[in-house]
Amino acid sequence: MSGPKFFVTNGHLLLCQASTCTRLGADVLYQALWAYLEREHLAYYKAGGSVRLTSSGCLGVCNYGPALLCYRQQGPGLEQAWYAAADFLLLRQVAQAVQTGAALPRAHRYDL
Ligand code: FES
């Protein structure tokens, strides 16, 4: 019997899809980011891809949305980056950094 297939993952993006962020365009951003991940072969199930994207419930900064959270393994620890007012350029930059292992963008972060 075969089990679920595991795909190597460099990092995980969680984009809020709760009501306030959705009113601020997070639903459109989510669809656009999926299309970008697939087109650029960054999606975890594409050859060479390693980025996961999941819709998230409220991340607690509603009026500053769309909100994005990124988790990834860095050295012995887990790195997290919390973003407010995410736009498509930022999402692309975060996804590229996750894929390549580069530093995550500092702009829009509110956890620093
Ligand atoms: S609705 Fe997105 S952070 Fe609350």
Coil vs helix vs strand at 100: helix
In this structure, which topology does domain 11-100 adopt according to CATH? Glutaredoxin (3.40.30)
Where do we find the tokens 């995980």? 12
Residues 67-90 pLDDT 10s: 999 999 988 999 999 999 999 999
Question: Is the pLDDT confidence value at 1 over 80?
Answer: no
Question: Is the pLDDT confidence value at 24 over 80?
Answer: yes
Question: Is the pLDDT confidence value at 2 over 80?
Answer: yes
Residue spans of the domains in the chain: they are 11-100
Cβ contact 36:51 at 8 Å: no
Verify cis geometry, omega within 30 degrees of 0, for the bond prior to 66. Answer: yes
pTM of the model: 0.95
Where do we find the tokens 């975060």? 94
Joined together, the tokens standing for residue 46 give: 């594409």
* SS3 assignment for 7-61: CCCCEEEEEECCHHHHHCCHHHHHHHHHHHHHHCCCECCCCCCCEEEEEECCCCC
> How many angstroms does the Cα of residue 24 sit away from the middle of ligand 1?
10
Q: What percentage of the chain carries pLDDT values higher than 70?
A: 99
> How many angstroms does the Cα of residue 48 sit away from the middle of ligand 1?
31
Predicted local distance difference test score (pLDDT) of residue 54: 98
Q: Amino acid identity of 103?
A: A
Question: Is the pLDDT confidence value at 92 over 90?
Answer: yes
Predicted local distance difference test score (pLDDT) of residue 101: 96
For ligand 1, which residues put their CB under 6 angstroms from it?
16, 18-21, 58-62, 65, 67
Residues 42-76 pLDDT 10s: 999 999 999 999 999 999 999 999 999 999 998 89
Average pLDDT, rounded, for the chain:
96
**Which ligand 1 atom is the nearest neighbour of the CA of 26?**
2
Cβ contact 34:26 at 8 Å: no
